[in-house]
A and B are shown apart, each in its own frame.
Chain A
Amino acid sequence: MIEVEHLSKYFGRTTAVDNISFRVEKGEILGFLGPNGAGKTTTMRILTCFLPASAGTARVAGYDVFKDSLEVRKRIGYLPENPPLYNDMTVRYFLEFNAKIKGVEPKQQRSRAEATMEKCGLQEVKETIIGKLSRGYKQRVGLAQALVHDPEVLILDEPTIGLDPRQIIEVRQLIKELGGEHTIILSTHILPEVSVTCQRVVIINKGKIAAVDTPENLTARLKGSERVYVEVEGPVDQVEQRIRQIPDVTAVSVESGGNGKRNGFFVESKVKADVRSQLAAAITSSGFGLLEMRRVGLSLEEIFLQLTTEEAEG
């Protein structure tokens, strides 16, 4: 349904999105997880035709976001981070206006607006001026605006921001219900949010994709991965070779040195296998000097550390 290939976006000299590729299948709910400023919003803006990409392509329902932007825009519902609302309109008029500009047939505009208000719990505030609504209601009007034309694809930028815990649960429930029928991309910086709503997660950091996986696998990887840093006195090639011979080691990378006698290595091993004693034995038995050894986090974990891992209170 959504195909993104080698997409990049530069703002002057800064790179906001750096060569990312991913796919979203029909009916899937994809989570976009990353700290603030990771490039989530920029990617979404490219997908919704608000910004053109600097390089690469993106297709929604088979249409290129740049060449067939009008066709793409007919098929997407987009909730930006700040819901785009006209503060002097009533909720009903705003949704009817949205139905009009999003190509809903004139006869159905009223009923679509009505059905969307029902779905998003806006019945009590139908005739209220949007500017007078609370933050939570405004967010729901924003969501209703994205849903009013019953789009194939929904792109939601931080849909639960500013809501109280009860509303957050409601909105997540709503999103889950919408999945299957609609293809959804939602962005968030809250870890538990993706595990509740999404089938697949793209972790994005500094414009690059750090990982794509199911929420369950990601959590497993996060908890069970091992990474050890060792500093060894000895020739690089020989030491590296010796470390690779240890059964559970999956990857070795040279961190520092390279020409001198002291060299640093990052050693990654299989999940839940502690290779430290084997590593120490292998190094010392081969006659190299073991200068330092410590466990370090996976780079994925570094990203996760910047994410909010707990639900906000209130």
Chain B
Amino acid sequence: MRNIAAIFHKELKTYFTSPIAYVLAAVFLVITGYFFYGMTVTFSNECLYYMQYASRYGGMPALNLNQQVIRGMFGLISFISLFIIPMLTMRLYAEEKRSGTMELLMTSPVRITETLLGKFFACFSLYAVIIGLTVLYQIILGVYGHPDWGPVLSGYLGTLLMGAAFIAVGIFASSVTESQIIAVVLGFGALLLFWVIGSASIFTRPGAGKIFSYLSILTHMLPFQKGVIDTQHILFYLSFIGFFLFLTVKVIESQRWR
């Protein structure tokens, strides 16, 4: 436990002493902020339009802040995560191997799993902080509107779970190479594949299609955005994380044998 904490602290410190955390957070905020503004303005225009429509012809369509703004925001956040997470994870093992500090970690009385968990939670915490910045948008919505807070909370839960799954894939990509560039390309490629793999169900046989759509990271995210917390999806993300962390441990172990 103490070792995990030591690695955790070291990794977080590295994130914040290098500009990478600040740059990624800034880019993330600019993009989400741009879309947030667009979506809220569109929504309020629609409200205005339908209010005039209702006063003239009667009958108001059901406009829903959660559906039209918040759900869109979560979709956007998960999409941007696809890009920023490989950039957060690329360093974690590739850099240790390139600079030779892997030799330090491997000859210290620290288990491979302890190093891995320290790195994983450090990256996850940074991700959570970046995601946490978007709470600002929810506050703005809460001040000027009446969103249903349930789906907001479940949306954050889903985003964090999905982010953790992305991080597991990213760390695995970083563990197989010494090059950060290769790590980011592999990580992004794998994530993109898991993102779109559901659409393979269109052209495969029904049986196989089910498997593909089950593997899709996106399919398991949608219920959370709608406000549904289903243990099946939580379990999917947890086993997904577990699987990739396990693979990483095996990769690191096998590198000693060469």
Residues of A within 8 A of B (CB): 11, 45, 48-52, 70-71, 73-74, 76, 78, 80, 82-89, 93, 97-98, 100-103, 106, 145
Contacts and interface: CB of A to CB of B under 8 A. Distances in A.
Given A89-B14, A101-B3, 13 more contacts: A11-B258, A50-B107, A50-B256, A52-B256, A70-B111, A83-B100, A84-B99, A84-B100, A89-B13, A97-B9, A98-B108, A101-B6, A101-B7
12 contacts: A45-B103, A48-B107, A50-B107, A73-B108, A73-B109, A84-B100, A85-B101, A86-B10, A87-B99, A97-B6, A101-B7, A102-B108
Q: Which of B14, B101, B104 has the most CB of A within 10 A?
A: B104
Contacts of B101: 84-86
A101 B107 contact: no
A242 to B, nearest CB: 54
Contacts of A11: 258
A73 to B, nearest CB: 4
Interface string B217-258: 000000000000000000000000000000000000000111
B153 interface: no
B67 to A, nearest CB: 45
Contacts of A76: 107
B31 interface: no
Nearest to A157: B103
B18 interface: yes
A88 B256 contact: no
A80 B100 CA distance: 9
A83 B103 CA distance: 9
Nearest to A94: B10
Contact of B109 (A50, A101, A145): A101
Nearest to B114: A101
Contacts of B258: 11
A45 B256 CA distance: 10
Nearest to A99: B6
A189 B46 CA distance: 79
Given A50-B256, A103-B109, A84 B2 contact: no
Contacts of A102: 108-109
A52 B257 contact: yes
A78 B258 CA distance: 20
Contacts of B99: 84-87
A201 B136 CA distance: 67
A49 B107 contact: yes
A219 B10 CA distance: 48
B129 interface: no
Given A50-B256, A97-B6, A73 B107 contact: yes
Nearest to A75: B109
B17 interface: yes
B4 to A, nearest CB: 10
A49 B2 contact: no
A122 B244 CA distance: 41
Contacts of B105: 101
Contacts of B107: 48-50, 73, 76, 78
Contacts of A103: 109
Instruction: Describe B's contact surface by its main secondary structure.
Output: helix
B14 A88 contact: yes
Interface in B86-129: 99-111
A86 B14 contact: yes
Interface string B163-190: 0000000000000000000000000000
A80 B103 contact: yes
Nearest to A81: B100
Contacts of B3: 100-101
A88 B100 contact: no
B109 A84 contact: no
Nearest to A96: B6
Nearest to B18: A88
Contacts of B104: 80, 84, 98, 145
Contacts of A73: 107-109
Contacts of B100: 80, 82-84
Contacts of B106: 49-50
5 A-B pairs closest in CB distance: A84-B104, A100-B6, A73-B109, A84-B101, A74-B109
B96 to A, nearest CB: 9
Contacts of B110: 101
A90 to B, nearest CB: 9
A132 to B, nearest CB: 13
Contacts of B14: 86, 88-89
Interface in B106-160: 106-111
Contacts of B109: 70-71, 73-74, 101-103
B3 to A, nearest CB: 6
Given A78-B107, A86-B14, A51 B256 contact: yes
Nearest to B2: A100
Contact of B17 (A49, A83, A88): A88
Interface in B22-72: none
A87 B14 CA distance: 10
A94 B17 CA distance: 14
